[in-house]
Structures are given as C-alpha cells and as structure tokens.
Amino acid sequence: MRKIDTDQRRAAAGKRAGRALLALSRAAAGLTLIELLVALALAAILASAAAPSLQSLLQKQLLHAALNDVQGAIALTRSLAIARGGVVLMAPHDASGDAWERGWTVFADRNGNRRPDPGEERYAVQQPLADGIHLGAHFTSGTGPAYLAYNAAGRSCQAGNSQAARWGTLTLEAGQHRRLVKINMLGRVRVCDPVAQPALCTSAD
C-alpha cells in the first residue's frame, strides 16, 4: 500500500511539474511575441521617419548623374566645334526646347534649322534622363528652337552667326535639389547650387 501511495505521489508530482513547465513555456512564448510586435512597431516608425531622407538622397544622386551627362555633352560640343573648325550644336529632342530631360543630340547643323536632320552628322545622342529629373534652359536670343552652339574658337554663339555671342543657363531639378549650369559669353561653364551658393548663382554669366 505504501509503495502504491508513493508511486501515486510521484506521479502527481510529475504531472504538477509538467504543468508548471508548460505554463512557463507559454509565458515565455507570449513574452517573445510581445517583444516581436514591439520591435516591428519600432522598425515601422524608424522606416517612416527615414523615408524622406532616403528619397532626398536618391534624388541627389540622380541629379548628380544628370549633371555629369549635361556637362559631358557641353564639353563634347565645344571640343568638336574647335576640332572641325565650325559651328556644332547641342539641341533637345523636344523641338519646343521645354523638355531637355527627354534627351538631346550633338550635331553639325548643315541647313541652319537648329534641328538634327537626316544626312547631318550626329556626334552624340543622349537618352532621356531619369524619371523625376527636370532640365530647363534660358538663353539670350531665345527665339526659335532651343539649342546651345559653339564656334571654331570654342565660344558659345548663335546658330546662324558664329560671331554673335549667345549665353545662358541650364537648370537641373530633382525634388528640392537644384543645380545651375551657367554658360558665359565666352562659352565657359560653371556649376552652382542656388541654395548653398546664392551669390555665385546670381552673379553675371
């Protein structure tokens, strides 16, 4: 009888210990789930706070890449004009000149219409810039299709008169970021940030 009672007590004690362990396991699992939910909530808050900064950083990188394309095209136009001893143009694909971001062509304008036509030498064709980039232009003698021209001396000029100076500004924008590409009457190029360098950007070309 005593042996049976002892066995029963041991069995009961084992069951109680098992239930206690099961309760502890459930409590631990519940605590882990709560911690996970809290961590997810904090991650969501941090992500939402960081999103504007990441977007601004991306826009700045896209602007920098577009600026390199513009500067490279201007330098190519100038060097080709000097090398071939004649006027070379850089003109947007968009005939109105309002959407340089759609791309541009560097070419020799044989017929003087400021547009790249069949049979005319095309030295470079730029594909559209990344989405979200805007590229506008404002030049002196702004009538007719927009363009940038260089003469054999490496100076910016009018398409129909290589001796007449023509200068202006190309403006790149991506979100809140802007860069001005200013071309003076000698054809020299400088880049400025209107926010960080207001005096430089407002000075005469």
What is the model's pLDDT at position 37?
74
- Asked, for residue 99, whether it belongs to a domain, the answer is yes
Give the structural domain span for 111: 33-202
- Asked, for residue 18, whether it belongs to a domain, the answer is no
Render pLDDT for 10-68 as a digit per residue (tens, 0 to 9): 555 555 555 655 554 554 455 577 777 777 777 777 667 666 678 888 989 999 999 99
- Asked, for residue 15, whether it belongs to a domain, the answer is no
- Asked, for residue 9, whether it belongs to a domain, the answer is no
User: Are the C-beta atoms of 87 and 114 separated by less than 8 Å?
Assistant: no
- Asked, for residue 20, whether it belongs to a domain, the answer is no
What is the model's pLDDT at position 49?
65
Token pair in block for residue 193: 């940030």
- Asked, for residue 2, whether it belongs to a domain, the answer is no
The closest of 56, 98, 106 to 78, measured between CA atoms, is 106
User: Are the C-beta atoms of 42 and 34 separated by less than 8 Å?
Assistant: no
Render pLDDT for 113-155 as a digit per residue (tens, 0 to 9): 888 999 999 999 999 999 999 999 988 876 667 899 999 999 9
CATH code of the domain covering residue 150 = 3.55.40.10
What is the model's pLDDT at position 50?
60
The amino acid at 32: T
User: Residue 192 — φ and ψ, nearest 5°?
Assistant: -140, 155
- Number of domains present in the structure of the chain: 1
79 vs 46, more confident: 79
Q: Edge to edge, what strands does the sheet with 168-174 contain? A: 134-139, 168-174, 177-183, 189-192
- Asked, for residue 27, whether it belongs to a domain, the answer is no
- Asked, for residue 108, whether it belongs to a domain, the answer is yes
